[in-house]
Structure 1
Amino acid sequence: MADWDDLRIFLAVARSESLSGAGRGLRLDAATVGRRIARLEDSLGHPLFLRSAQGYRLTEAGGRLIPHAEAAERAMASAAEDLAGAAAGLSGQIRLGAPDGCANYLLPQVTAAICDANPGLEVQIVALPRVFNLSKREADMAVAVSPPEAGRLTVQKLTDYRLSLAGDAGYLAARPAITSREDLQGHRLVGYIPDMIFDKELDYLAELGVGTVPLGSNSVPVQLMWLRAGAGIGIVHDFAMPFAPGLRRVLAGQVALTRSFWLIRHADDRRSDRMTRFAEALTLGLRREVARLEALAAGQ
């Protein structure tokens, strides 16, 4: 029979699809991981992975083992929580995935405050301009700009946030005035690379009827730096504007977008008091931080 340590290694390989990737997360060398997988397969009497140059893919037997291994993972996490006790505060590691605008301009200060209140807690922020795959445990939970439509997940709305069209004051002063959307044709626009927009909610410029983006990046901070450098005009999160005090809104009465952040969790994590308490602190912190930064931006 497999013990928890065997199952822990099995899950790491299944999620990373490689021995080296699993080893990095487990802090084991790839050869050791490979030996442990081979031993587990021998003890169960079934091959769990198909090996190829592309990596490790689950066999049918491996796929059947996944829910049992994840149940053991949840049981061990729950036991650790019970032993630690709620009064001791949050502890251990939580990995949080988020789009890079949220990850850069909101989560650092919000999670720092949560960690100040819970000294035993370790938070990892994974900032990626794409949708996170929670089934592969890329993160324990994720912030998204659209609620998922499939999967065994729980979803809760975190907060609304606003976006505006903006440009650097120096850029705007040196170029023709913008008084209508038609005037945008005479200006260089900054935005997402069209074929790398991973969520329809991010296709801001389509709402302006703009088809060409001379300066495009899949990174929100890169777009913001272009605007700060006076390279053009583009859509900016209002909560990011205090980090770029030289920006000024354009067509403020005509262009104002609202989007939402959603917190995505594994359905089974609803039974985890630790994850629930962290989610509650994150929700409260994000709402307060968005409100604080948007109030600062209103004065720019």
Structure 2
Amino acid sequence: MDWDDLRIFLAVARAESLSGAGRRLAMDASTVGRRIARLEASVGAALFLKTPGGYQLTAEGSRLMAPAEAAERAATAAAEAVSGDAGLSGQLRIGAPDGCANYLLPQVARDLCAAHPGLEIQIVALPRVVNLTRREADMAIAVSPPDTGRLMVQRLVDYHLHLAGHDDYLSRHPPLDRLEDLHGHRMISYIPDMIFDRELDYLSATGVEAAQISSNSVAVQMQAVRAGAGLGIVHDFAIPFAPGVRRVLTGRIALKRSFWLIRHADDRASRRLTLLAEAVAQGIRTEVARLEGQLSAAPDGRT
């Protein structure tokens, strides 16, 4: 049994499909299937059970996971030892909530790729927590620290959110002096049953029970605010990307949240991923400070 066979086995186990594994491996799904069949023939046991939900590990396949992941770590360590200090290269996949993915990670990726031309960065923006156990990403950004799994968790940075509206909308609607005034305004927020983390329940801070316009994406919410569709609680670091949008009731509604960097515990020995994690962490801190710094302190209702 060689490492290439185990590499394909791990990809199928994590993607739970031949096509998903093929995309990750840059390999045709039919080729992945043939390689798995060959591996099963060589070990004399079925490693996967094909179900309507995808490829599920059999008992024999589950037993193979630990040694296969150990071989993966050894192969990674060997590659890093050969590359030495030649620079960071290869693929890095980062999973993140779409606020971070839209407004912070593009600049971080730009700077990292400029510093390391051999690096390829993939940004996975998902309206849920990225599953590192299934290797959906090499590392993930989250708005809450996980309490389960074999994971390394690092607090990155605090960030701030405020109620905001576009000048066009604000000029056409009654002034905002008190929280009670919000009841005469159209609100924009998350779809309630699609809030995947309690830290994303922003609307409760306003005292308004329901939003007239909602989305599972904070980027879509910001675009609705920018279009003059209503008021929404938005990231301060996103406001510089939306000309005409300004904060309101800043002395009455001000939220603080944190970003957390999460890695799989098995990656602790990877010098490459450790260096990349440090660079991503510093990049996010720098961008939050830069963008929030563009919002000057001003009287309540203005930025």
SS in 2 for 1:14: helix
1:7 is matched with which residue? 6
Q: CA deviation at 1:207?
A: 2.3
Is 1:43 paired with 2:39? no
In the alignment, is the contact (CA less than 8 A) between 2:163 and 2:247 conserved in 1? Answer: yes
Is 1:248 paired with 2:240? no
Name the count of aligned residue pairs. Answer: 298
1:196 is matched with which residue? 194
Q: CA deviation at 1:260?
A: 0.3
Q: Which residue identity does 2:11 align to in structure 1?
A: A
Is 1:132 paired with 2:149? no
Q: CA deviation at 1:297?
A: 2.2
Q: Among residues 276, 279, 296, which one is paired with 2:277 in the alignment?
A: 279
Q: CA deviation at 1:21?
A: 1.5
Q: CA deviation at 1:194?
A: 0.5
Q: CA deviation at 1:138?
A: 0.5
1:60 is matched with which residue? 59
Q: CA deviation at 1:156?
A: 0.1
2:83 is matched with which residue? 84
2:69 is matched with which residue? 70
1:175 is matched with which residue? 173
What does 1:247-266 align with in structure 2 at a 5 Å threshold?
Answer: 247-266=245-264
SS in 2 for 1:12: helix
Q: Which residue identity does 1:76 align to in structure 2?
A: A
SS in 1 for 2:294: helix
Cα offsets for 1:124-154 (capped at 9, x unmatched): 1011111100111110000000000000000
Is 1:17 paired with 2:16? yes
What does 1:137-148 align with in structure 2 at a 5 Å threshold?
Answer: 137-148=135-146
Instruction: Give TM-score, length-normalised by structure 2.
Output: 0.96
Q: CA deviation at 1:222?
A: 0.9
Cα offsets for 1:6-53 (capped at 9, x unmatched): 101101111111112212222222222111111111211221111123
| Whole-angstrom distance in 2 between the partners of 1:233 and 1:298 | 20
In the alignment, is the contact (CA less than 8 A) between 2:22 and 2:28 conserved in 1? Answer: yes
| Whole-angstrom distance in 2 between the partners of 1:247 and 1:55 | 45
Q: CA deviation at 1:115?
A: 1.3
| Whole-angstrom distance in 1 between the partners of 2:270 and 2:100 | 25
Cα offsets for 1:165-200 (capped at 9, x unmatched): 000112112111111111111100001101000000
**Which segments of 5 or more consecutive residues in structure 2 lack a partner in the other structure?**
298-302
**Which segments of 5 or more consecutive residues in structure 1 lack a partner in the other structure?**
none
RMSD: 1.1
SS in 1 for 2:113: helix
Q: Which residue identity does 1:169 align to in structure 2?
A: D
What does 1:285-296 align with in structure 2 at a 5 Å threshold?
Answer: 285-296=283-294
SS in 2 for 1:122: strand
Is 1:111 paired with 2:112? no
| Whole-angstrom distance in 2 between the partners of 1:224 and 1:285 | 23
SS in 1 for 2:256: strand
| Whole-angstrom distance in 2 between the partners of 1:298 and 1:142 | 31
Give 4+ residue runs of structure 1 displaced > 4 Å after superposition.
none
SS in 2 for 1:297: coil
| Whole-angstrom distance in 2 between the partners of 1:89 and 1:49 | 38
Q: CA deviation at 1:288?
A: 1.1
Q: CA deviation at 1:209?
A: 2.4
Q: Which residue identity does 2:21 align to in structure 1?
A: A
| Whole-angstrom distance in 2 between the partners of 1:260 and 1:296 | 19
SS in 2 for 1:108: helix
Q: Which moved more, 1:195-204 or 1:210-219?
A: 210-219
Cα offsets for 1:245-270 (capped at 9, x unmatched): 20111111111100000000000111
Q: CA deviation at 1:298?
A: 2.7
| Whole-angstrom distance in 1 between the partners of 2:38 and 2:219 | 46
| Whole-angstrom distance in 2 between the partners of 1:249 and 1:28 | 49
Q: CA deviation at 1:210?
A: 2.2
Is 1:210 paired with 2:208? yes
